[in-house]
């Protein structure tokens, strides 16, 4: 017999990816122009080679080139933030750990300001690299 906790974790193991996939589908379907969820599924099926349907090229382009990339980047960004929070909580052995606790956010702000004052933050990469270096140095201290 499996324990109640084991059954519950098994349910979450199937439920969490299903919810993420549903959120991705709805994130792709919602936008400035309304595209039905069935069309989104059809576009994904055609683009992955699972179907040979003829689709509206505008809807297919909007879904495949714009909305899908936006939804995937948002999901990856959320997953990376969740993972970094998990790592911070595990390292500090504190379930309430956050970036403000150790001054990581202040270090990131300081790094970004130093890059801006030095005049090296003209591009997106320079400012982000400065913020990352500041956060990393604050965490190392």
- Tens of pLDDT, residues 114-141: 998 988 877 778 898 999 999 999 988 8
Q: What is the pTM of this model?
A: 0.73
Q: What is the pLDDT of residue 70?
A: 92
pLDDT at 1 exceeding the cut of 60: no
Domain definitions of the chain by residue range? 1-97, 98-141
How large a percentage of the chain has pLDDT more than 90? 45
- How far apart CA 42 and CA 22 sit, in angstroms, is 15
- Decide: 41 and 25 in contact? Cβ < 8 Å: yes
- How far apart CA 17 and CA 47 sit, in angstroms, is 22
- Tens of pLDDT, residues 22-73: 999 888 988 888 889 899 999 999 998 888 888 888 989 999 999 999 999 9
Q: What is the pLDDT of residue 95?
A: 87
């Amino acid at each position: 017999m499996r324990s109640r906790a084991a059954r519950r974790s098994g349910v979450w193991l199937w439920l969490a990816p299903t919810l993420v996939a549903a959120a991705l589908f709805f994130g792709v379907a919602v936008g400035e122009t309304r595209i039905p969820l069935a069309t989104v599924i059809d576009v994904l099926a055609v683009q992955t080679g699972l179907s040979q349907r003829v689709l509206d090229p505008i809807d297919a382009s909007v879904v495949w080139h714009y909305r899908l990339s936006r939804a995937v980047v948002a999901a990856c960004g959320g997953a990376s933030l969740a993972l970094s929070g998990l790592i911070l909580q595990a390292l500090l052995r504190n379930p309430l750990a956050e970036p403000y606790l150790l001054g990581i956010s202040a270090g990131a702000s300081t790094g970004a300001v130093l890059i801006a004052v030095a005049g090296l933050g003209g591009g997106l990469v320079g400012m982000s690299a400065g913020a990352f270096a500041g956060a990393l140095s604050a965490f190392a201290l």
